[in-house]
């Protein structure tokens, strides 16, 4: 399985949100935190952006979205994820 990392402009476009609202959502636990790509760059796994958009489209509430965010962030630490190339 391949994982694409999206930079902020692509995430904002996919979400239809402003930068300030996007970071507010992160602080409120309604969107995953970024992953570090280097000293001064971050991005978001494409599959996480898609999963959160799908949940919003399906009408999930904030509590369900927060639970999904926790699940997605926890899955980043899965052993098989780091070993794939």
CB neighbour class for 83 (10 Å; exposed up to 12, middle 13-18, buried from 19) = exposed
Whether the full predicted model's pTM is greater than 0.75, yes or no, is: yes
Domain count, the chain: 1
State which residues form the domain around 18: 5-83
Q: How far apart are CA 7 and CA 41, in angstroms?
A: 8
**Could you read off the pLDDT of 37-70 as tens digits, one per residue?**
999 999 999 999 999 999 999 999 999 999 999 9
Residue 7 pLDDT > 60, yes or no? Answer: yes
Q: What is the mean pLDDT of the chain?
A: 92
DSSP class of 30: S
pLDDT at position 58 is: 98
pLDDT at position 57 is: 97
Read off the CATH number of the domain in which 16 is found. 1.10.1660
pLDDT at position 81 is: 56
DSSP letter string, 48-68? HHHHHHHHHHTT--HHHHHHH
């Amino acid at each position: 399985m391949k994982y694409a990392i999206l930079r902020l402009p692509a995430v904002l476009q996919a979400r239809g949100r402003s930068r300030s609202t996007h970071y507010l959502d992160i602080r409120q636990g309604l969107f995953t935190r970024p992953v570090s790509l280097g000293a001064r760059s971050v991005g978001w796994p494409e599959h996480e952006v898609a999963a959160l958009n799908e949940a919003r489209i399906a009408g999930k509430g904030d509590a369900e979205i927060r639970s999904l965010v926790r699940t997605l962030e926890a899955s980043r630490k899965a052993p098989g994820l780091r070993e794939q190339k």
